[in-house]
Copies of this chain bind each other. A is one copy, B any other.
Amino acid sequence: MLLKLDFADETPIYMQIRNQIVLGIANGELIPGEKLPPIRTLAAETGVNTMTVNKSYQLLKQEGYLITDRRLGAMINPARVPEQHPPLTEHPALKLLISELYVDGISKEELLAACSKLYDELNKGE
């Protein structure tokens, strides 16, 4: 799996790494139990400070996406417990996003079609 980082982007680098790994898990590119590269390796490959990669791994671990085994290093959590969600209609980010799209003239059909398509693209291997 290849990480694409944009150092000029406003989202922090550690968050970009975290996001890409989450995306990788969702679309099946990273499978539960798969080993992730050691922090130093990933840092060297991406030209990022080890501390930054470390922060990403810590965050992913805290969110349950990752587990670290002392002997094997980091791997995708094979037994993740999904987070408890309040009703989706209260999800602040989703609400804001849909509001922005609505104001930009996106129709309901377009929105639902895109959501459906994006969802279907996930984990094609299933």
Q: When the two chains form their complex, are residues B119 and A102 in contact, meaning their CB atoms are under 8 A apart?
A: yes
Q: When the two chains form their complex, are residues A99 and B22 in contact, meaning their CB atoms are under 8 A apart?
A: yes
| Min C-beta distance of A37 to chain B, whole Å | 18
Chain copies in complex:
4
CA distance A62 to B95 in the complex (A): 22
A23-B96, A88-B113, A99-B122 given; name 20 further pairs at CB < 8 Å: A7-B70, A7-B72, A8-B68, A25-B103, A27-B99, A48-B71, A49-B71, A80-B103, A82-B103, A85-B106, A88-B110, A89-B114, A89-B118, A94-B97, A94-B114, A97-B97, A98-B115, A98-B122, A108-B116, A108-B120
Contact sample, A vs B, 27 pairs, CB 8 Å cutoff:
A7-B69, A7-B70, A7-B71, A8-B67, A8-B70, A19-B96, A22-B103, A23-B99, A25-B99, A26-B98, A26-B102, A27-B99, A48-B71, A65-B103, A80-B103, A85-B104, A85-B106, A87-B114, A88-B110, A88-B111, A93-B97, A94-B114, A98-B122, A102-B119, A108-B116, A111-B115, A112-B116
